[in-house]
A and B are shown apart, each in its own frame.
Chain A
Amino acid sequence: MSDLLLIFTDYTLRNVALGSAMLGVVGGVLGVFAVLRRQSLLGDVLAHAALPGICLAFILTGAKAPLILLVGGGLAGWLAAWLVLAVLRHSRLPEDSALGVMLSSFFGFGVALLTFIQHSNNASQAGLDQYIFGQAATIVASDVLNFTVLGGLALLTVGLFYKEFKLLAFDPAYAHSLGLPVRGLNTLLTSLTVLAVMVGLQTVGVVLMAAMLIAPAAAARQWTDRLGAMIGLSALFGALAGVSGALISATRENLPTGPLVVLSMSAILLVSLFFAPLRGLVWDWARTRQHRRRVYLERLLLDAHVLHAHGTLTPQSLAERRREPVAVALQNLEALRSLGWVQEHPQGFILTPTGEQKAHELEQAMRVLLHRVEGSS
């Protein structure tokens, strides 16, 4: 609790938390479109490709002002995205290879530039490598202002083009037939993703940025089928992960913020995957178990029904028919009895009227099913 209060009093922590939250919101909102359009990993490429841009911006201007470096990174990311599209349009290389080639060659160039700067004894170079894994502790008030402007710009544009982006995400062919400039909108959406990456470079860095675009959206997807709600939830999850990552990293020394933000986000995603209403995997497993149990009991009842019709429903006859030990047959009969489908009888067991009724319904249903299968074949 005292940590939570620190947000309002501790200058550094407040900035770090605000910056991470901002990243969570912007990444969450734009990630929704990336994930829905199956372009999740384009964000990964954009982020990795930002490294040489940051280094070049430093070499060319000699400035260490974060905004200039971020703009350099953004431009490089944008160039990489454009190159991926060009390669896809003009060659038969599969998409994943094109992404991988751009990611690794841009990142390799970035690493080469980074070491080149480090070895050229430039006194002010220290700190450029923070963009690789992020170093949230260096975020100051002016950075938060930058993030707000960049992120605000991205969010405002999403708001303005919400209808168009929605159509683009779900039915690009229809969007095209309506006369919407699909290619232009694609470029716009990619450029907005570049803005989101720029917001994240200082906090989580180029390597881990992909998680902040993909994970919030994937988590939000589990809770809702509506785009508006998904965007809201995604932003909320992203912000939550950002703030909790920042808080956890403040509890001890040597705890890097970026990985903690990503791990918080992964935790939220895991919870969503397992426990989200309707789509949650846990409910899925429970449902499957239930269905299995029901089918098992129904088949049991049908077996009992057949034996009952021949007048010999005893644990021994059931065991013989179902090729199972007598002890299991006894348990099965007990299960049927607790459902009120069979009852004890001097010569063993008999079906109750409810059991008869149920067995009759099942037979009827099976006959209909068989009829349909035969009819269709």
Chain B
Amino acid sequence: MNADLVIILTAILVSTASALVGSFLVLRRMALLSDAISHAVLPGIVLAYWLSGGERATLPALLGAAAAGLVTVVLVEWLTRTGRVKNDAAIGIVFPALFSLGVLAVSLFFRNVHLDMDAVLYGEIAYAPFNTLSLWGREVPESWLVMGSLTLLNLLFVLLFYKELKLATFDPGLAAALGFAPGALYYGLMTLVSFTSVGAFQSVGAILIVAFLIIPPATAYLLTQRLPVMLALAVGVGVVSSLAGYALAIWLDASIAGMMATVAGLCFALAFLFSPVEGYLTTRLRRERQRLEVAARLLVAHLAHHSQPVPEQEVLEEFGWNPRFLGQVREKALQAGWLEVVREGLRPTARGLAMSSAQLEPNP
């Protein structure tokens, strides 16, 4: 089977599965909890690896990691509830401790075996084509099977509990009052995040999975204010970053997962700058345009009070503008057809006069 195809489809599945659950993490302000879970997955995998006698089996690893993820969530919650430590500090205390345990166990018991630190960091998506299973007599990459079922699971979860998730995300109080069991939903979501983390662990590594969970949904968050659109956009951004990241990684001979995270970061930067909703540059551009528009209307209204054309020098003194700004304002007014330039200076057109008297009318 084509190796590129295996890797690309795996990456697409990873980003789809992550974006689906990640969106709810971003909306519920629990993005950093996923960071903690993805780190804590390591000791879970090590434990499962040890219990299963050194075999790199997928199912025990999944269960071990899911357990570790839930332990993280419960520990963070317990620490926060004691009131001795704030929530963010609790996250920052729990995950380094668990991750240290994992690293320690790896370097003590599994030195020079399959489960090395490179795999933890970079993932092994490049090896995806070599791990195959035979299914109904056909060779199928293991990563397709694992990530495919996880994607399906996450998709089913979101579709089946869409109404409940939406309500619990935007109005937890009402969800609880209506008896939607937000607690069960919360732990369900966290279990899926742990599953997704460990499924993706084999492909993109424990730490970079956070990039897939958070960056595409955060990018989508900047682009829309509607939940279904956000989910679709998050999946789209994830898939695009995977594809572009893979191409760049091959070209530069660098880590595939690392490059995918980098491209996702760039997508976020683009959305931050150019989002039609509230992009930084879009907002500035819109403000600048509005400023010119107001100035142009002001200028025409001023000219309407003069029977003679007004020299530009006089306008400059009157408004205290600099010549460059006046140039921009004049351009704007000319485009709108409010103004004409004659030898003696500036003069409003009939359209300009109509506009200025209309805007002086009191609002009906």
Contact = CB atoms under 8 A, between A and B. Distances in A.
Contacts of B133: none
Interface string B23-51: 00010011110110001000000000000
B13 interface: no
Contacts of A39: 88
Contacts of B283: 90
B344 to A, nearest CB: 45
Given A40-B88, A91-B278, A97-B214, A211 B208 contact: no
A255 B82 CA distance: 33
Interface residues of B, number: 62
Given A40-B89, A109-B261, A259-B103, A104 B222 contact: no
A93 interface: yes
Interface stretch (B142-150, B262-270, B296-304, B354-362): B262-270
A37 to B, nearest CB: 10
Contact of A262 (B84, B86, B100, B215): B100
Given A41-B88, A208-B99, A218-B89, A259 B104 contact: yes
B93 A218 contact: yes
Interface string A264-278: 001001000100000
Interface in B239-290: 249, 252-255, 257-262, 264-266, 268, 272, 278, 280, 283
B155 interface: no
Q: Do most interface residues of chain A lie in helix, strand or loop, or is the interface mixed?
A: helix
In this complex, the member of B84, B222, B268, B283 whose beta carbon has the largest number of chain A beta carbons within 10 angstroms is: B84
B336 interface: no
Q: For the complex of A and B, list the 6 residue pairs with the smallest distance between their C-beta atoms, beginning with the closest.
A: A108-B261, A105-B265, A112-B258, A211-B96, A111-B258, A259-B100
A111 B121 contact: yes
Contacts of A114: 255, 258
Given A100-B34, A105-B265, A105-B268, A211 B92 contact: yes
In this complex, the member of A109, A111, A259 whose beta carbon has the largest number of chain B beta carbons within 10 angstroms is: A111
Contacts of B210: 100, 103-104
Interface in A101-123: 101, 103-116, 119-120
Nearest to B211: A104
B104 A263 contact: yes
B235 interface: no
B262 A109 contact: yes
B100 A96 contact: no
A273 B90 CA distance: 12
In this complex, the member of B100, B104, B261 whose beta carbon has the largest number of chain A beta carbons within 10 angstroms is: B100
A20 interface: no
A111 B204 CA distance: 11
Interface in B85-121: 85-86, 88-89, 91-93, 95-97, 99-101, 103-104, 107-108, 111, 117, 121
Contacts of B103: 133, 256, 258-259
Contact of B254 (A101, A112, A279): A112
Nearest to B103: A259
Interface string A52-74: 00000000000000000000000
A94 B218 CA distance: 9
Given A106-B265, A112-B254, 7 more contacts: A44-B92, A90-B283, A112-B262, A115-B122, A258-B100, A259-B103, A262-B100
Contacts of A107: 207-208, 211, 261
A311 B217 CA distance: 73
A256 B92 contact: no
A97 B88 contact: no
A93 B111 contact: no
Contacts of B211: 104-105, 107-108
Nearest to A133: B103
B32 A100 contact: yes
Contact of A110 (B101, B221, B258, B264): B258
B108 to A, nearest CB: 6
A94 to B, nearest CB: 5
A99 B210 CA distance: 11
Interface string B122-143: 1000000000000000000000
